[in-house]
Amino acid sequence: MKKVVKFGGSSLASAEQFRKVGDIIHADAARRYVVPSAPGKRSSNDTKVTDMLYDCYAAAANGDDITEKIDAIKSRYQEIIDGLGLQLTLDEEFSVIRAKFEEGAGSEYAASRGEYLNGIVMAAFLGYEFIDAAEVIRFDENGTFDAETTNEQMSARLEAVERAVIPGFYGATADGTIRTFSRGGSDITGSIVARAVHADLYENWTDVSGFLVTDPHIVPNPETIETVTYRELRELSYMGANVMHADAIFPLRKEGIPINIKNTNRPEDPGTLIVESTCRQPKFTITGIAGKKGFCAINIEKAMMNTEIGFGRKVLQVFEENGISFEHVPSGIDTFTVIVHQTEFMEKEQRVISGLHRAVQPDTLDLESGLALIAVVGRGMRAQRGTAGRIFSALSHAHINVKMIDQGSSELNIIIGVRNEDFEAAVKAIYDIFVLTHL
C-alpha cells in the first residue's frame, strides 16, 4: 500500500499540530509521501505564513527595511523547531531568502518559501528525505503547469525513494524560476505526487471531517458526505462548495485514485471519500446542495423561433463575442433564456442587447437580475422517482417561487433558480426534505 498524505496550513501551524501529524503518519506505514503546506493560523486572528511572506516581499519591493518582518516569519518556524526539540537551524536559509527578496526574486518565489521551509522542518521531524518541489514540478515559461513533464520527472525521482517530504504549492520553470499554483495549491501538489507514484490513496488532511452536505452558514451542523464521486464534487465545487482546490481533482481523476478528506484534529473520523465511481449507495437520495447568488437572466422572445434554425447559435455567439460565459440556457418554443453571472454581464449589458437585436431581431428582450442558482447534486437521484417532485413541494411549502429549472439527462443534478432573497430558505427547505426527514 502506498499513500500520499497532504497536510494543510492549520494542521501545521504549531509544534502541537506537527506532533498530531507525526502520530498520524507513524500510525500507518503506507503513509510514505508527505506534502506539507506552510504554517497556517494558530487561532482565528493569526496570520498565515504565506500572507506574511507576500507582505514582507511587498515591503522589500518598496525598498523598506524588512528586518522585523523577516524576524517575525523566522520566529514562526523557530517556535515549531523548539517545540519539537529539533536540532535544526534555518539561519542560512533565511539569509538566502532575505538576499533574494532584496534582489527582487518575485512574489511567487517569496510565497513558495513558506512550504519550502516547512518541508525542511517536516523532513527533519520525520527523518524522511526532503525533495525540493522546484526539482520535480515543472511550469512552462508562461507560468502554466506542465503536467506531463512533471509526471515523468516526479515518477523518476520518487521511484527509488521509500519515504519523502515534498513541499506543496510551487514548482519551477526549466531555468529554475520558482512559480506557484493559485492559493490553496498544496492540494494540487499532493494530487500530482499521488498520480506520479500510483498511490492507492491520497489523504488530504485538513481541519474539518470532510465535505458537508450543504453550507453550515445556512444549515447549522449539516451532515457530512461519506462518499462523493469526482463528477458530483465538480458540480458542487463549481457552485461554491469548497474544501479542496478544484484543480487537485484532475490529476487523480485521470488515474482513478481515490481521495480521502480527513481531519487532523479528529483522525478517527472517517471523513469524505472521493472516488471515480462506487456501488455504495449514498445515505440520502442527494449527495449535496450548493449554490450561489448573483445571476442574471436574459429572456428573448420571438414568434416562430422554433422554425429558425441556428437561432441559439446566433444568440450565444453574441455572448461569445463579448467574452461572457453562459451558465444555463433554458428554452421554450418561442423563448430562449441565457443565464449569466451578473457582475460579468453588467459592464457589457448594452453591447450585448444591441448585439442580440442585430443578430436575431427578437420581439421582446428583457433582463431579470438578482437570481440565485441552487444545484441539488446526487448520483442517487438517477434511480429514484419523485426527486424533482419532492424538491418542488418542499419549495412550495416554504413559499418560494421557482424561477428556473434545469436538469440534464445524466440526472446527476437539478439546478433551480430562485430570487436572491429566497436563496437561504430554499437551500434549507431542500436539505430538510432529503436529509432531516431521513435521519
Asked if 171 interacts with ligand ASP (CB under 6 A), we say no
Shortest distance (Å) from residue 392 CB to ligand ASP: 40
Shortest distance (Å) from residue 54 CB to ligand ASP: 9
**Cβ neighbours of residue 436 closer than 8 Å, sequence gap 6 or more:** none
**From 34, 60, 114, 137, residue interacting with ligand ASP (rule: CB under 6 A):** 114
CB nearer to ligand ASP: give 168 or 380: 168
Site string for ligand ASP, 177-216 (x = CB under 6 A): ------xxxxx-----------------------------
Which single residue brings its beta carbon nearest to ligand ASP?
186
> Phi, psi at residue 72, to the nearest 5°?
-65, -40
CB nearer to ligand ASP: give 114 or 288: 114
Shortest distance (Å) from residue 213 CB to ligand ASP: 24
CB nearer to ligand ASP: give 9 or 222: 9
Among 219, 210, 212, 211, which Cα is nearest to 430's? 219
Shortest distance (Å) from residue 117 CB to ligand ASP: 11
Shortest distance (Å) from residue 28 CB to ligand ASP: 23
CB nearer to ligand ASP: give 133 or 415: 133
User: 263 to each of 111, 236, 418, how far by Cα in Å?
Assistant: 25, 20, 34
Shortest distance (Å) from residue 186 CB to ligand ASP: 3
Between CA 414 and CA 387 the distance in angstroms is 9
Of residues 310 through 339, those in contact with ligand ASP by CB under 6 A are none
CB nearer to ligand ASP: give 184 or 417: 184
User: 308 to each of 245, 282, 304, 338, 360, how far by Cα in Å?
Assistant: 43, 44, 7, 17, 10
Of residues 13 through 52, those in contact with ligand ASP by CB under 6 A are 37-38, 48, 50
Q: What one-character-per-residue DSSP string does 40-82 give? A: --SSTT---HHHHHHHHHHHHHTT---HHHHHHHHHHHHHHHH
Shortest distance (Å) from residue 429 CB to ligand ASP: 35
Q: How many residues bind ligand ASP (CB under 6 A)?
A: 13
- Helix locations, 367-422, DSSP H: 387-397
Diameter over CA atoms, the chain: 80
Do the strands 413-419 and 364-377 form a parallel or antiparallel pair, or are they unpaired?
antiparallel
Shortest distance (Å) from residue 112 CB to ligand ASP: 9
CB nearer to ligand ASP: give 205 or 311: 205
CA 374 to chain centre: 18
Collect contacts of 40-45 with beta carbons under 8 A, ≥24 apart. 40/8, 40/9, 40/10, 40/11, 40/12, 40/13, 41/9, 41/10, 41/13, 42/13, 42/14
Of residues 376 through 405, those in contact with ligand ASP by CB under 6 A are none
- Which residues make up the interface to ligand ASP (CB under 6 A)? 9, 37-38, 48, 50, 114, 168-169, 183-187
